């Protein structure tokens, strides 16, 4: 099994988050439009959170440390 490049993995998540921001709105209306927008927001949030994680790989265990506190809470 090839070794995991965690820096490359994080970069892929950052790129996915950026791609979601650039995703064009398809020609849909009504409920489908709202669902598309909602899903895009969730996709961006998920990709951005993982992309900003502090990562360690120790003894085969991948750990993502994600600080969800706001700046004023840190």
pLDDT in tens, 13-70: 999 999 999 999 888 899 999 999 999 999 999 999 999 999 998 888 999 999 999 8
Check residue 38 and give its pLDDT.
95
Q: Contact 65/54 with Cβ under 8 angstroms?
A: yes
Inside any domain, residue 22: yes
For CA atoms 19, 25, 28, 29, the dihedral sign is positive
In a domain, 25, yes or no: yes
Q: Which domain holds residue 42?
A: 6-73
- Of 73, 20, 57, the closest CA to residue 65 belongs to 57
Query: What's the CA gap between 25 and 40, in Å, rounded?
Result: 10
- Band of pLDDT at residue 71, cut at 50, 70 and 90: confident
Please give the backbone phi and psi of residue 3, each rounded to the nearest 5 degrees, phi first: -75, 150
Number of structural domains the chain divides into: 1
């Amino acid at each position: 099994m090839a070794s995991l490049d965690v820096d490359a993995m994080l970069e892929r998540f950052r790129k996915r988050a950026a791609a979601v921001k650039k995703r064009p709105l398809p020609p849909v209306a009504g409920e489908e439009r709202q669902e598309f927008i909602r899903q895009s927001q969730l996709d961006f949030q998920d990709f951005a959170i993982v992309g900003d994680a502090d990562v360690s790989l120790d003894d085969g265990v991948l750990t993502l440390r994600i600080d969800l506190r706001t700046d004023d809470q840190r």
